Amino acid sequence: MMSYQQTKYWSVDNIVDNLIESKEIQEAAAFLREGKLVAFPTETVYGLGASARSDEAVTSIFTAKGRPADNPLIVHISQQKDVYNFTKSVPEKAEKLMEKFWPGALTIILAHNGRLSTKVTAGLSTVGLRMPDHPVALALIEASGEPIAAPSANRSGRPSPTTAAHTAEDLQGRIAGIVDGGATGLGVESTVIDCSGELPIILRPGGVTQSQLEAVIGRVEVDQSLTEEAAPRSPGMKYKHYAPEAPLTLVDGDEDFFRSCVRKHKENGEKVGLILFPALASMEADAVYILSDNRIETTARELYSALRTFKKSEVDHILMQAVPADELGFAVMNRLVKAAGGRILTQ
């Protein structure tokens, strides 16, 4: 793996005029054209970008992240028309989804035409394409002139990064550069929907909900094998994900049950970390992260920062109450269950 004594850092103002012409974006785009790795913000999480047409550049993503090479990558584009450069065909339902949700937190799986690196598709006949809803991401992709393969910009298995600081924590010295465009807004990754078959199927829940999709194209199925260890059709369907340094357990129950679970861990001599909604802010533990409010949108936005707060040297175990698994909560619980390794205490 190529190593860097110092990862280049660019701070970019999201609201400047003609962002694409800024010195920072132009320099970062030149890095991408040269086959180097550059992390950048999207509206979901920070992505680790490389030219999706370069085998060598894409291979370096897997090396930097420590990510298995049989896990496909999402390709980010800056204009909707770019889809047709890399696909065999675009079904009508996919067209409708692009019109409604792009730019945005929706990745659409389509049959590719072989113009992308096979390292991106992991040898599959399909590829996931997304147009991110972030001015920095769009400017960088456009300036590079390349389709950009970009998984989350973290070490594999760690919570995804929602700030440039999170990215640096994991990848400093392992990648060429980081574009800092501030904290991301949504906080969980894009929804992945497979439109390569007759019936669209959600392969990963995310920022666009099932009901929102069905309002546009009618019936949408949800893949029931999201956690199966078969060869994945989508990013985020295989291997350990989102795990904090200390073990996380979810608690599915009321306040009294949650408090009893905390007591049991303390009675076992463990140092306990808690991720709490404001109503339980008075609860004591060795380390506490209090979410800003009770809204599921806030939980999604702050989730990965909360998980990264707790260090193994400070706590032995982390506890958090489960959230209702509907709408955006389906995506949040998907990430939490994976982060917890399936550990859930039920009342």
pLDDT digits (tens, 9 = 90+) for 209-227: 999 999 999 999 999 865 4
pLDDT in tens, 29-62: 999 999 999 999 999 999 999 999 999 999 999 9
Residue 321, helix vs strand vs coil: strand
With beta carbons less than 8 A apart as the criterion, state whether 187 and 45 touch: yes
Q: Same structural domain for residues 56 and 140? A: yes
- Please report whether residue 239 resides in a domain: no
Q: Are strands 106-111 and 126-130 parallel, antiparallel or unpaired?
A: antiparallel
67 is in an annotated binding site: yes
158 is in an annotated binding site: no
Q: Same structural domain for residues 213 and 258? A: no
- Please report whether residue 178 resides in a domain: yes
Amino acid code (one letter) for 339: A
232 pLDDT exceeds 50?
Answer: no
Closest CA to 245 of 180, 313, 323: 313
130 is in an annotated binding site: yes
**From the CA atom positions of the chain, what is the Rg in Å?**
20
Q: Same structural domain for residues 54 and 120? A: yes
- Please report whether residue 303 resides in a domain: yes
The domain of 294 spans: 248-346
204 is in an annotated binding site: yes
Q: Same structural domain for residues 33 and 71? A: yes
Predicted pLDDT at 228: 46
Q: Same structural domain for residues 184 and 275? A: no
198 pLDDT exceeds 70?
Answer: yes
Band of residue 235 on the pLDDT scale cut at 50, 70, 90: low
Give me the number of domains the chain comprises. Answer: 2
Provide the residue count of the chain: 347
236 pLDDT exceeds 60?
Answer: no
15 pLDDT exceeds 90?
Answer: no
Q: Same structural domain for residues 61 and 166? A: yes
Predicted pLDDT at 335: 94
Number of H helices, E strands in the chain: 10, 16
Angle at 70 between CA 68 and CA 73, to 5 degrees: 90
Predicted pLDDT at 92: 97
Amino acid code (one letter) for 2: M
- Please report whether residue 240 resides in a domain: no
Predicted pLDDT at 98: 98
Q: Same structural domain for residues 18 and 98? A: yes
pLDDT in tens, 166-196: 999 999 999 999 999 999 999 999 999 999 9
242 is in an annotated binding site: yes
Say how far apart CA 272 and CA 265 lie, in whole Å.
Answer: 7
190 is in an annotated binding site: yes
User: The domain that contains 144 carries what CATH number?
Assistant: 3.90.870.10
- Please report whether residue 201 resides in a domain: yes
Say how far apart CA 121 and CA 232 lie, in whole Å.
Answer: 11
76 is in an annotated binding site: yes
343 is in an annotated binding site: no
Q: Same structural domain for residues 27 and 127? A: yes
Q: Same structural domain for residues 218 and 252? A: no
Q: Same structural domain for residues 18 and 162? A: yes
Q: Which helix (H) or strand (E) holds 12?
A: none
Q: Same structural domain for residues 294 and 335? A: yes
User: The domain that contains 291 carries what CATH number?
Assistant: 3.40.50.11030
CA distances from 230 to 152, 177, 237, 292 (A): 21, 34, 9, 38
Say how far apart CA 67 and CA 233 lie, in whole Å.
Answer: 16
Band of residue 1 on the pLDDT scale cut at 50, 70, 90: low
234 pLDDT exceeds 70?
Answer: no
Q: Same structural domain for residues 162 and 98? A: yes
- Please report whether residue 228 resides in a domain: no
118 is in an annotated binding site: no
Closest CA to 304 of 168, 184, 180: 184
219 is in an annotated binding site: no
143 is in an annotated binding site: no
- Please report whether residue 154 resides in a domain: yes
Q: Looking at 187, 207, 222, which one is the last position of a domain?
A: 222
- Please report whether residue 234 resides in a domain: no
310 pLDDT exceeds 90?
Answer: yes
- pTM for the full model? 0.93
pLDDT in tens, 123-174: 999 999 999 999 999 999 999 999 999 999 999 999 999 999 999 999 999 9
112 is in an annotated binding site: no
Block residue for tokens 């029931």: 224
